[in-house]
Amino acid sequence: MTAVPAPVSSTAAGALSAFLRGVERRALVVAELQCGDPARAEQTLVAVMRAFSAVASDLPMAQWPTRFWT
pLDDT at 57: 86
Dihedrals φ, ψ of 44, to 5°? -65, -45
pLDDT at 9: 67
CA 63 to CA 2: how far, in whole Å?
26
pLDDT at 3: 47
pLDDT at 4: 47
Domain residues of the chain, as ranges?
34-70
Burial class (CB in 10 A: 0-12, 13-18, 19+), 42: middle
DSSP one-letter code for 8: -
pTM, 2 dp: 0.77
pLDDT in tens, the chain (70 residues): 454 455 556 777 889 999 999 999 999 999 999 999 999 999 999 999 999 999 998 899 999 999 999 8
